[in-house]
Structure 1
Amino acid sequence: MAQNAIKKVVLAYSGGLDTSVILRWLQEQYDCEVVTFTADIGQGEELAPARAKAEAAGVKEIYIDDLREEFVRDFVFPMFRANAIYEGEYLLGTSIARPLIAKRLVEIAIETGADAISHGATGKGNDQVRFELGAYALKPDIQIVAPWREWDLLSREKLLAYAEAHGIPVEMKREGTKSPYSMDANLLHISYEGYDLEDPWCEPGADMWRWSVAPEDAPDRPTYIELTFAQGDCVAIDGQSMSPAALLAELNRIGGANGIGRADIVENRYVGMKSRGCYETPGGTLLLKAHRAMESLTLDREAAHQKDALMPRYAELVYNGYWFSPERQMLQAAIDQTQAVVNGVVRLKLYKGNVLVVGRKSESDSLFDASIATFEEDAGAYDQGDATGFIRLNALRLRVAGNRRPYRRG
């Protein structure tokens, strides 16, 4: 990339060590103006210091955007309509935040007339792929500066030395208050990587977790909650309507207090390596359980089974960074079409890390018919004799194959 072709770049900026160094490095190496963008997606951190640090670095255009409602409404909720879960365990908390950040980076680049965008994702991770695929899908001619793939500052010690040499203030937290883990937080989850987690045999320390109590320390009495769904999205807790962001935050509080939502995973990164990470997703765990229960009552059998068959592919697309791809949009359209009937209330029982569905109802869209399903006499609603022909027809191919290849024990 010709460095002199870039006159202005929009940087995804947190104000931490990495992005503070990147900000100065861009100014120095590219001799360009830097616009900073800091997204509030519910990470729970004070964002005012990021503005102060950017101003101190000479940044004239500073964006600090509250994207919490958009994040849950337009990204988290559509993903949960699909019941998306990667490799059977990961609820995609980091993955689903990246397309929103990429979208806003591109929008700001257009608003400010910037030539390029920049991010702090490393060359070993998935996030570089997610940010850049999203950006290219939305603005194909955008230029991207990925410092971790260009510079030689490949350790914390080198970053600190660069910061000291260039007079970049670095907030050093008191000993014992700084987490040793690489963490990513938003309204859907917190992730933990690195440090002792790089040994997949090592159990995480009890003091690592931030949102949830240990299941054994959760209350000795169960907690009951009722979640109301409208067209596949959760809209109320215990009858109280809430905005998407407020609802997810409250589910995080309730789930965390009951020891729900912890996961310890070795996952396959898109870039090719296996990675061990731990995740806290209390609200998402409750949402997934309740949404599937609501669908079990209201979705046609074949629609539900087809939707389950599509889910692993959908989850893979989200994980790998293809949120804005035509195939993800195609799957989303099919999934959303099924959600028109996913309306009603699910009752959950929460107890020491466990989530049990103990009730579900839908006044308008339930397909459950007690007069057919009953084990008692059903007054002709179902002729059990019809099952004979049904079974014989479905057994035909098995009987033909059995005659050709008689069963042999062992």
Structure 2
Amino acid sequence: MNEHLQKLTDRIADQFGLQQYHLKNHSIFRQSNVFNETIYILNMEWFPNNSPHSEDGFNPPGTAVIDADIHSGRIRRIIFSEDTTYAESGFFPDPQKETAIEWMEEMTGLEFGRQFRLVDEGEDNLLFQAAVDNVPVYPSGTIEIQFNAQGELTLFSIDGTFPQEDQIRWEPFNLTLEKTEPVSRQQIKLLEIPVEAEKRWLPVYGPTTAFLTNDGKRSFSFEEVEKRVSFVEKDELLMWKEPADDIFAEEEVDFSLEVNEEQALARKPDPDAHPLTEGEQDKAVQEAVRFLQRVFPDDSGNWRLTSIYRQNGYVFVELQPSKPSNRVVERKIRLVLDKEDLHAVSYLDNQVIVDIFSQFDPAGPVKLSTEEAFETLKNHIKVTPVYVYDADHSSYILCGKIDSEYGVDAQTGELVALNEL
């Protein structure tokens, strides 16, 4: 192990009282965040000393799995297997909320109330979300902590991103329901939702989540806010005249994000964070057509390419039917391309999931207009302040999140709770 990594593991052993443990395995993984920063994580498996050898390959009870940022030294995750720990006492907090929060502030360098807020409190666990002065942020970050029956910490994790002071555009929240009504109207969509208990599709008007800037001039969909740096939205109908004269040979893919020490210590940028060039996009479209010619030769004009993006060391192409339905479960193909020459190596087809609902009774006739549905819903639409990361300006901007917990039955006009469908 490299000297830098050895010092990091030695510090972690001392920091968390792992005197009764030894480092059994370690590996390094790469990930990128919403700020387009590449982070290298050291994953460690600490086995209890004198633990029995496991014949089935599972870690022994009490194994400590710890993830740490190689360069900052910050801990990202601690898990003690089977709710058992042999760590020395005094190195972790007790289950008291105030004590746990103080410990998490020290661990993360974040300030409670200022950069993260409590969203759920159980008997033995606490869940927090990224925030700006208790206002939620998107994309979000989460912090979780759990304790066993003896009051010992068995899990700590921090995922996602948390805003820093210099990334915030401070301003008072000015949006009201009246100001957001034009956007709210546009968000009402007719959807067909499967009702499993009745084996049928139910037509429902429901609002799709949107974010409106505090000045009311720009709006974003939930998908736009959550999208990857390399994400490119497309809308291309794929057509061809003849089937291909060869067959598609699927290759083995490896979605692992593991890297070697040299790459990690050199801080090489994550290839997934690189934008797709125009040439790469054009080649991806051509390869999608070639794939369909080989696998679905009679489907010319039946598929539309909707997006291209990098993920897990590959380039993904999203394909959807050219005549989409209103059903929330719809056919989709994710085509996997080699990142070097962009040839198709594999694909993920959700046909099996679609088939599960193929025997459901179709949705009945819609008797309600979109306007009528909005009138029923408008008093149940919420506008809440949130901070949304604006990648173009590398800052968080204040927005109103527009959504609702309810929908309207498009046949009866009755209000329905969406989480009960």
* TM exceeding 0.5: no
Judging by fraction of residues, say which structure has more strand. 2
User: TM range, normalised to the smaller chain?
Assistant: under 0.3
Highest relative contact order (Cα 8 Å, sep 6+), 1 or 2? 1
TM-score, structure 1 as length reference = 0.24
